[in-house]
Structure 1
Amino acid sequence: MAAGIFAIRRDWGGGAVAAALAALILGTLAAVAWQARGLSGLGPWDWRAVWFTLWQAMLSASLSALLAIPVARALARRRFPGRALLVTLLGAPFILPVIVAIMGLISVFGRNGVLNDAFRAFGLPEITIYGWQGVILAHVFFNLPLSVRLILQGWQSIPSERFRLAASLDFAPADIARHLERPMLRAVLPGVWLAVFLVCLTSFAVALTLGGGPRATTVELAIYQAFRFDFDLGRAAMLGLIQIALCLAAMSLARWIAIPAAFGAGLDQPDQLTGPRGWRRITDTLAITLAAVFLLWPMLAVTMRGLPRIPALPADVWDAALRSVVMALISAALAITLSLVLALSVARSKSRLIEAAGMLPLVASPLVLGTGLFILLRGTLAPQSLALPVTIAINAIMALPFGLRALIPAARDLRADYGRLADSLDMQGLARLRLLTLPRLARPIGFAGGLAAALAMGDLGVITLFPSDQPTLPLKLYQLMNSYRMADASACAVLLMAISFALFWLFDRGGRLA
């Protein structure tokens, strides 16, 4: 601890940013804790929301992880045209605005969706996407690609020499599953399950649009209702503390469940072995096909429905789009600056305290931080004036952990490869930043900026807490859906999706060209 504090003092720039970040996050959480009035302030419907949050998060995480296993296994052992593109598309839902994906799911599973139209044509009973089943369906849609990518990395981490040895010993598929695949899954699945569980635990837009009602209200939605409709800050604060406690408990539990696979190191040679033939080839093909249809169909449906109506969108939608782009660019610039300062500081000082400060946003959800900032700032500023600045700041802060994960390894490599040479040339300050740091870190900076811009562009969270006559594009889309203007909502969804992907591509491409 003393070494970490000394490193922070020596590297005052990163230490100052880390201290300010810790003060902001911990201060807002302290304000939430101070405002909370204890468990006695919660009613039976609040406890029902806690129970539903836990129940749906556990079920969503379990379904996402279990369904991802056959898909990841099929992708790991099969080679086919378009495989690389499909694996890349599996990462798209992470930067896809939540409200857009929900719009796509409604286009397929909604009352006037493709499936219900087909059911009505054949005289079958209709299905509904609203309620607990819609919340779980949407969470599986979002988190199945994430689970597949993480489990696929686990499969690819098994040294190819182990598979060659298994082939030389004439292992059957059941033997490979027992000795290679199951140990890997025991090591990987707890982390996958935890990641999805935390996402579902703090999900807001899904519950806001597809849930609601006493039987499908999450803690995050209950915080929003207590804040926005009842203006019961004590109740909202207590619910926020419960949510933080649930997240911390889940993170602690995962440490006890994971079991290292202990395969040992390999020679990093590519595996050219083919998967088993026969009926297993058929099941692999079916798993990949069903996953691709489930993930791509909603996006294709909303695109086909909304694309022709984009030119007819009203002027207020374009105003909201411009406002969102400006906010996303400011959030991305702020996130890049903070991430770069912290990453360079961690690379120089090797301080765990600075890195831990950058990871603090993972402790609380945006709604909890928004509630804390409102408690701290109320009485000094009008609520209407807080909406856009607070949204920009929290979006930048919430993108910090992802930016640091991309920048810290690259910053350490930069320090190890060029640090002594730059020091011997007395290259400092802006000259070092312009001639060495920015050119060498352009790729991770571009990726981090694109991720921050895309996430900020599609955010529907903090902005809903504050009354504002200047809605962002996601909030405008939500308002159109609530007004049952589904044609305009589809066009707005396509516009939001296009801008989000364009921002990510521009930042990421700019980093690659630098």
Structure 2
Amino acid sequence: MIQLGLALTAGLVALWLGAGAGFGAGLDRALPRWDGQGLAARITDMLWIGLAALFLLAPLMMVVLRGLGGLALLGPGTWEAAGHSVSVALASTALCLLWALPLSTRGGELVGLAGIALSPLVLGTGLFLILRPYVNPFVLALPVTTLINALVSLPFALRILRPEAEAVRADYRRLAQALGLTPLAWLRLVLLPRLRRPLGFAAGLTAALSIGDLGVIALFADPDRATLPLQVYRLMGSYQMEAAAGAALLLLCLSFGAFWLFDRGGRIHAET
């Protein structure tokens, strides 16, 4: 009995001391980082981050500066197109996550790579030719755009979710088997709570990509079913540059806003 008590005590001490080294998966502790501690490393990091920020933020600042004056020129068609973009983004995000979650836990990454191997325009053209003899393709412009956007975003969502899902399975699989958890209980009690952060990031990325996509919708859309990127293109084609700049600013705000909301929501729920 004394030996058993000593063994249990030693096991608990090892679990506590080794929580950051892989012995305490259930404690969910953040691992400390030891890189970038020197002054030279910090200066190098600041330099490269500054150059990358300048490369990315300069065009975005031009969109903001040029678009502020064009917001007042946006007509009802542009706001309706923005609503279409938001609805398509939400639907494609939900569909992409419904595909990505089971594929990430069953090693289905190769299936998801079809979104990269095949061009969205090729898929859209094929769907257009298939549907044309049976139904008016313009009626299905938004559903087809939703489907293609979800498929195109699937490889990115899988790349985000699969490492985390594999880590959860490696840490808790034997415990779940010992407790006799059903697949539904495993999903609800173990997997989803520990995938909140990557799920939020994947959802934000999918929504941003879907809102800013100008591909399949150009094949299917009529004037009543345009998305915001297509509306920007149409405004530019009709030489309404100020209105196009305002619509581009609106597109930028929607894309960044969707990404921030989903990513922030995942982080907040992961911390609770």
Tell me the CA shift for residue 386 of structure 1.
2.8
Equivalent position of 2:40 in the other structure: 274
Q: Which of 314, 324, 343 lines up with 2:85 in the alignment?
A: 324
Q: Deviations over 1:125-175 (max 9, x none)?
A: xxxxxxxxxxxxxxxxxxxxxxxxxxxxxxxxxxxxxxxxxxxxxxxxxxx
> Which string of whole-angstrom CA distances, capped at 9 and with x for unpartnered residues, describes residues 310-360 of structure 1?
2442111111111110110000000111000101122xxxxxxx3211112
Counting aligned pairs with the same residue, the percent is 51
The answer as to 2:152 corresponding to 1:398 is yes
C-alpha deviation, 1:272, in angstroms: 1.2
Q: Which one of the candidate residues 254, 257, 260 is aligned to 1:505?
A: 260
- 1:293: Cα distance to partner? 4.5
Amino acid at match of 2:97: I
Deviation at 1:401, TM superposition (A): 0.5
Do structure 1's residue 306 and structure 2's residue 72 form an aligned pair? Answer: no
2:9 corresponding residue in structure 1: none
Q: Which has the higher contact order (CA 8 A, sep 6+)?
A: 2
Contact 2:73 2:242 in 1 (8 A): no
Q: TM-score, normalised by structure 1?
A: 0.43
Which of the numbers 120, 145, 159 marks the counterpart of 1:366? 120
Query: 1:292 offset after TM fit, Å?
Result: 4.9
C-alpha separation in 2, matches of 1:329 and 1:448: 13
| Pair 1:409 & 2:163 matched | yes
Q: How far 1:420 sits from its partner (Å)?
A: 1.6
Query: Does residue 472 of structure 1 match 2:253?
Result: no
- Alpha carbons of structure 1 residues 289 and 442: separation in structure 2 relative to 1, 3 Å: closer
Instruction: State the Cα distance separating 1:400 from its structure 2 match.
Output: 0.6
Cα distance in structure 1, aligned partners of 2:176 and 2:50: 52
**What amino acid is aligned across from residue 207 of structure 2 in structure 1?**
A
1: CA distance between counterparts of 2:228 and 2:90?
14
In structure 1, what is the equivalent of residue 137 of structure 2? 383
Distance 1:375 1:510, change over 3 A: same
109, 115, 134: which one pairs with 1:355?
109
CA pair 431-490 structure 1, distance change in 2 beyond 3 A = same
Cα deviation for residue 375 of structure 1 reads 2.6
Counterpart position of 1:247: none
Determine which of 444, 451, 467 is the counterpart of 2:205.
451
Distance change in 2, residues 1:288/1:420 (3 Å): closer
Q: Give distance in 2, aligned partners of 1:274 and 1:300.
A: 30
Q: Which residue of 2 aligns with 1:98?
A: none
Cα distance change on mapping 1:508 and 1:295 into 2, 3 Å? closer
SS of the equivalent of 2:113 reads: helix
Q: Which runs of 5+ in 1 are unaligned?
A: 1-266, 347-353
Change (3 A) 1:269 1:324: closer
- With structure 2 as the length reference, what TM-score do the two structures score? 0.79
How many positions carry a matched residue from both structures? 234
- Counterpart of 1:470 in structure 2: which amino acid? R
Distance of 2:246 and 2:170 partners within structure 1: 49
- 2:254 and 2:229 map into 1 onto residues whose CA distance is 12
